[in-house]
A and B are shown apart, each in its own frame.
Chain A
């Protein structure tokens, strides 16, 4: 008999005006694996965070074993037997496997304040073996691979009597062999009656190990049911919805000059032998799933990530000359993925931020002094041009909303008037209005002759902004897709990797 352990009803969640989950319903039963899939931004991670108590829901209910519960903190979740296994598990690197498993519940000797180490290791070994793992309970966590650390995280959850396991993109950093171990582990958990929710963007895995699937799209459940009902193409279709009306035919803009040539760039395991060129007057989209190496590619290009091989050439008059990543960084525009982390100086004024990448232009002699008046004027001009909503240029950037902060980042680079831009998720965390404005800015820049490399996880945005798209998968450039062949299905298939080569 099927016993439903977890139910999610009508959950709604918004962050700063952006609706992430609109009306989500799902149910998971013991002894079953429920796969949750959807493109980036569909709301999977937020949903898991709500169930695991990391984030509070705005509306809706959670039921465990038929009873309504409120999960407001990870500790609550633990009480209800819910365990979230992060992609990169949170743990204590320099302590042993056994300690990591039993730290909140160390077995003590009677009468003495000492830990029963042997007993702890024995128990740990048993837990691990039940999961099909032969990890040594005495080894240090830092010596283990990500796969090993995952096993420890699961063992810890088991030790705390978890019954509901949420796996958040667990296989992104695993080798093939480790993946098999993980699937084996999940199989064993299933046998013991655990309830498993498995989030992933690797659709082949879903087909392989899940009993049921729930496909999220745009904050809602697009479709759900037993896995037998679905073929791969069906899942993809549900994930991306129907193609919108066809785009206006894009004319190639002006004369095409090659601005940047990347030859055989390799950086660790995340970027493998990638070659491409950026031309003036175009947006080159880099598409791929999470973990495919897009951000690393850009960072490697710009010398922010250690490069193992490759050459960069930049236009110099009529010919191309070689350039280093650092030199490129100083002459291009680079909108980073995480503006709070490395894109903005949050406590500083808007004008301060806007001029921060082009300080030399505001130097006035003598004595290398900064012409603050000109800086502020430039800041004001930029802010008007980009329609930045703010109390004034002298206000600290952290007081601005996400969309306006992102515009400040853009303004900073626009000031340099570079020929080449690298934009990594330029509309992430930005409200709808600002999103449209930023997209327009991108189109305007390109019509003025700039070449833009665009990374975005929103497939529609990619398709509407790009002139051509290069798909990355596992660090390699799989295929270049010309404008005429843009379609969500095609791109998704290439990204997922099911041989849809034309």
Chain B
């Protein structure tokens, strides 16, 4: 993680602190964190895929799909745990399908996950008929009740990302993932099952996208039909900003992706506080993504990647 990044982070923080009296308040910080919770979880999963040098653009739509399934079931009176379970299973299944297509059949990951992104959104909209789905307040409170200074979902998200870091850096699986990202060829030579590793990261991504979507839904208390729209791009930006390279094999969850997510969250939160027109958000996002990617390509001058 470069010092430049931390510097910008601090500058930004200070800038917002001085520009708006609401920035450094407990309520605001809590908001930043709880909004960031779902993205944090999704980014953890997506980061695994990116680590292997691949890409998963379907995470936003998977989040939407699974959140919808869960909220529909809850609304229909099913027990919360069961609803959550089904939502997660949907995520695992989608992840597995992506994994089969990309890792086993060698389809182009960009196109496949792009197709999934749009296809799944369609399927989900069909399920929800485009309505907003409200969940009972008790259920919402499960998520956003305070556990100490922050909401439960924030704790959950932090746990997930820290676990992600542990898995990545301290388990065999995580090290194999990194190795495959560094050099698939070398990995094969030393006997790693490269296909299986490439497959499993998609399952991880799908699962965590599901969790992230559910978190976002519960944070709001309602399933919005726009949940997850454009999320994949924000997620990729956060991950790359946090030092994970799109070329694979490099990066971390903590501090990298964590700070990438926080940075983006702070940027957006600050914009809102400064009453910047909401229409400018995508502009800012786009610029941020571009700059992050440019820095990444400077670091790694190779040109080949999953297009």
**Residues of A bordering B, CB below 8 Å:** 74-75, 90-95, 99, 103-104, 106, 108, 113-115, 117
Residue of A nearest to B245 (CB): A94
Question: Ordered nearest first, which 4 A-B pairs have the shortest CB separation?
Answer: A92-B182, A94-B250, A94-B249, A114-B170
Inter-chain CA distance A75–B191, complex, in Å, is 8
B250 partner residues in chain A, CB cutoff 8 A: 94
A75 partner residues in chain B, CB cutoff 8 A: 191
A108 partner residues in chain B, CB cutoff 8 A: 172
B176 partner residues in chain A, CB cutoff 8 A: 103
B191 partner residues in chain A, CB cutoff 8 A: 75, 104
Residue of B nearest to A113 (CB): B171
Contact indicator B175/A94 (Cβ below 8 Å): no
Contact indicator A91/B171 (Cβ below 8 Å): no
- What's the nearest-Cβ distance from chain B to residue A108, in Å? 7
Contact indicator A103/B190 (Cβ below 8 Å): yes
Among B171, B192, B249, point to the contact of A93 (Cβ < 8 A): B249
Contact indicator B178/A94 (Cβ below 8 Å): yes
- What's the nearest-Cβ distance from chain A to residue B240, in Å? 15
- What's the nearest-Cβ distance from chain B to residue A59, in Å? 26
Contact indicator B166/A114 (Cβ below 8 Å): yes
**Contact of A106 with B175 at beta-carbon distance under 8 Å, contacts A92-B249, A115-B170 already known:** yes
B186 within 8 A of A: yes
- What's the nearest-Cβ distance from chain A to residue B252, in Å? 11
**Residues of B bordering A, CB below 8 Å:** 166, 170-173, 175-176, 178-179, 181-183, 185-187, 189-192, 249-250
A93 partner residues in chain B, CB cutoff 8 A: 182-183, 249
Contact indicator A90/B185 (Cβ below 8 Å): yes
Contact indicator B178/A92 (Cβ below 8 Å): yes
Residue of A nearest to B181 (CB): A94
Inter-chain CA distance A93–B172, complex, in Å, is 17
Contact indicator B179/A95 (Cβ below 8 Å): yes
Other A-B pairs beyond A115-B170, A115-B171, 15, CB < 8 Å: A74-B189, A90-B185, A90-B186, A90-B189, A91-B183, A92-B179, A92-B183, A92-B249, A93-B182, A93-B249, A103-B179, A108-B172, A113-B172, A114-B166, A114-B170
Inter-chain CA distance A90–B183, complex, in Å, is 9
Among B173, B175, B185, B249, point to the contact of A103 (Cβ < 8 A): B175
Contact indicator B186/A115 (Cβ below 8 Å): no
- What's the nearest-Cβ distance from chain A to residue B301, in Å? 12
Residue of B nearest to A75 (CB): B191
Residue of A nearest to B180 (CB): A92
Q: Between A and B, how many residue pairs show CB distances below 8 Å? A: 50
B179 partner residues in chain A, CB cutoff 8 A: 92, 95, 103
Residue of A nearest to B190 (CB): A104
Among A74, A90, A95, A106, point to the contact of B178 (Cβ < 8 A): A95
Could you show 12 A-B contacts with beta carbons less than 8 Å apart?
A90-B183, A91-B186, A92-B179, A92-B249, A94-B182, A94-B250, A103-B190, A104-B191, A113-B173, A115-B170, A115-B171, A115-B175
Inter-chain CA distance A2–B29, complex, in Å, is 75
Inter-chain CA distance A91–B183, complex, in Å, is 8
- What's the nearest-Cβ distance from chain B to residue A164, in Å? 18
Contact indicator A95/B175 (Cβ below 8 Å): yes
Inter-chain CA distance A221–B178, complex, in Å, is 44
A115 partner residues in chain B, CB cutoff 8 A: 170-172, 175
- What's the nearest-Cβ distance from chain A to residue B278, in Å? 39
Among B173, B190, B250, chain A packs the most CB atoms within 10 A around the CB of B190
Among A74, A75, A92, A115, chain B packs the most CB atoms within 10 A around the CB of A92
- What's the nearest-Cβ distance from chain B to residue A239, in Å? 32
B187 partner residues in chain A, CB cutoff 8 A: 92
Residue of B nearest to A116 (CB): B170
Inter-chain CA distance A317–B179, complex, in Å, is 58
B166 partner residues in chain A, CB cutoff 8 A: 114
**Contact of A92 with B172 at beta-carbon distance under 8 Å, contacts A75-B191, A104-B191, A114-B166 already known:** no
Residue of A nearest to B174 (CB): A115
Residue of A nearest to B173 (CB): A113
Residue of B nearest to A90 (CB): B186
- What's the nearest-Cβ distance from chain B to residue A82, in Å? 14
Inter-chain CA distance A114–B250, complex, in Å, is 20
B249 partner residues in chain A, CB cutoff 8 A: 92-95
Residue of B nearest to A106 (CB): B172
Inter-chain CA distance A93–B250, complex, in Å, is 9
A104 partner residues in chain B, CB cutoff 8 A: 190-192
A103 partner residues in chain B, CB cutoff 8 A: 175-176, 179, 190
Inter-chain CA distance A493–B179, complex, in Å, is 44
Among B171, B181, B183, B190, point to the contact of A114 (Cβ < 8 A): B171
Inter-chain CA distance A93–B53, complex, in Å, is 14
Residue of A nearest to B188 (CB): A74
Contact indicator A99/B175 (Cβ below 8 Å): yes
Contact indicator A117/B170 (Cβ below 8 Å): yes
**Contact of A92 with B186 at beta-carbon distance under 8 Å, contacts A75-B191, A104-B191, A114-B166 already known:** yes
Residue of B nearest to A109 (CB): B170
B170 partner residues in chain A, CB cutoff 8 A: 114-115, 117
A99 partner residues in chain B, CB cutoff 8 A: 175
- What's the nearest-Cβ distance from chain A to residue B213, in Å? 27
Inter-chain CA distance A224–B189, complex, in Å, is 33
A90 partner residues in chain B, CB cutoff 8 A: 183, 185-186, 189
B186 partner residues in chain A, CB cutoff 8 A: 90-92
Inter-chain CA distance A94–B248, complex, in Å, is 9
Inter-chain CA distance A330–B182, complex, in Å, is 37
- What's the nearest-Cβ distance from chain B to residue A497, in Å? 34
Inter-chain CA distance A113–B170, complex, in Å, is 8
Inter-chain CA distance A115–B175, complex, in Å, is 9
Residue of A nearest to B166 (CB): A114
- What's the nearest-Cβ distance from chain B to residue A462, in Å? 35
- What's the nearest-Cβ distance from chain A to residue B239, in Å? 15
B175 partner residues in chain A, CB cutoff 8 A: 95, 99, 103, 106, 115
- What's the nearest-Cβ distance from chain B to residue A421, in Å? 30
- What's the nearest-Cβ distance from chain A to residue B172, in Å? 5
- What's the nearest-Cβ distance from chain B to residue A160, in Å? 9
Inter-chain CA distance A75–B172, complex, in Å, is 20
Inter-chain CA distance A180–B185, complex, in Å, is 31
Inter-chain CA distance A91–B190, complex, in Å, is 10
Residue of A nearest to B187 (CB): A92
B182 partner residues in chain A, CB cutoff 8 A: 92-95
